[in-house]
Structure 1
Amino acid sequence: MPDWLGDLPTWIGAGGAIGAAWYAFQTIKSQREQIGEQQTFIAEQMQFMDDQRQNLLLERAELQAQAEDRRVAQARQIKMTYWPQGSSGTDRYGNGSGYSGWHVEIANKSDDPIHNVIVRFGDTYDAASAKENEGFHHPDGGRRPIPVPQIPAGHTVVFESPNWSEPTVENNRPAVVFTDDAGTRWRRDSYAKLDEVPPGTTP
């Protein structure tokens, strides 16, 4: 046997080292592939969980929006129309008194009653009178106390402001304050803006 081939034990040892190195290489390669697969799986799971979280947030927002719509639904159906009585050349009662004021109609167009209804003018003045006028016979002429304890579904109550001079009328525009059938207090101003009245506050 030529010298350059070496002896048999050397060749056997070299072959074993090569085999061990190949096995180690394959093991490392397999581990890297497993780690890569695990990383891919983890990334997919994280993306899935994030998608689920986003879906839950959207569903929660939709449920909250629906609940808010239901909460405000009755209040949105309470309508206020108004106009001044008395203008230049005329007066509220047509008797030369010169008095002027607001005529305000509060119509409950919802399916449930509203409660504790008051029309306020400016920041200070409450309505001087209230009268229900639905074309029915009212023994009391339809007069109601202020605040009006209840306006039934489909009914309208007319509120009148105190008697003022014309400039005072324009400076004291009407707003209606009422409690819906669920117990929430609301205020609608002369520009139709609807706001919830926080508990314990005076609108």
Structure 2
Amino acid sequence: MSSIDWGDAPTWIAAVFAGGAALFAGLTIRSQRQQISEQREFIGEQSQNLALERAELRAAEAARRSAQAKQVTMTYTTNGQLQPSGSLGGYDRWWVEVVNGSDETVRNVIVRFGDTYDAASATENGFRRHPDRGRRGVPVAALGPGRTVTFQSPRWSSEATIDNNRPALQFTDAAGAIWRRDEHGVLATAEE
């Protein structure tokens, strides 16, 4: 009969347990790596979904924000003759009609001509101008829902001067945003 050397038995048992622990740790690490990979993929998908939701919310907010401004329109004529094509026909002054088609009041409504001249605004007693002989118009402090105001430019001596000083509208909506509408009807915020 052979005898067992019990001195090596604890070493063998420890080696078997260490091997089992190493195998278990390796399997655990492999499982965790797979879980981490799946979590990264899930987080990536969630990030894409959140980015799309943010874009939709921004678009909805921009539409809400511009809804009132889109209802404020500007039409212009020269000396009372409607010129939809923008042709002048020898007239010496712009007349601009601003209509607030929204359900709320807009404020600080003013029309500028070119880079230099602001319009005079119509009042019940005629047109008001600043004391600097018409270079700066008086803005209409408030234009109520469904209301219209007319502005006029200074007189110019040549058709080229009139053509180079086309009208542009600026106003503040009920939310406090400042908007501009150019001669072509393009609407933009003052920051754009």
- 2:133 matched to which residue of 1? none
- 1:119 matched to which residue of 2? 111
Q: Which amino acid aligns with 2:117?
A: Y
- 2:140 matched to which residue of 1? 148
Q: Deviations over 1:116-147 (max 9, x none)?
A: 2111101111223426xxxxxxxx37x46431
Q: Percent identity?
A: 45
- 2:180 matched to which residue of 1? 187
Structure of greater Rg: 1
Q: Distance in 2 between matches of 1:197 and 1:28?
A: 67
Q: Deviations over 1:151-174 (max 9, x none)?
A: 211122222222222121101010
TM-score (norm 2): 0.72
Q: Which amino acid aligns with 1:113?
A: T
Q: Distance in 1 between matches of 2:107 and 2:127?
A: 13
Q: Which amino acid aligns with 1:120?
A: R
**Matching of residues 29-40 of structure 1 within 5 Å:** 29-40=23-34
- 1:134 matched to which residue of 2? none
Residue 162 (1) aligns with residue 154 (2): yes
The CA deviation at 1:27 is: 4.0
2:54 to 52, 60, 63: 60
TM-score (norm 1): 0.69
Q: Distance in 2 between matches of 1:167 and 1:33?
A: 84
Q: Distance in 1 between matches of 2:9 and 2:139?
A: 104
The CA deviation at 1:21 is: 6.2
Tell me how large the CA RMSD over aligned residues is: 3.1
1:41 to 32, 35, 42: 35
**Structure 1: where are the runs of 5+ without partners?**
1-6, 93-99, 132-139, 199-203
Count of paired positions:
174
- 2:84 matched to which residue of 1? none
Q: Distance in 1 between matches of 2:53 and 2:127?
A: 46
**Structure 2: where are the runs of 5+ without partners?**
82-87, 129-137
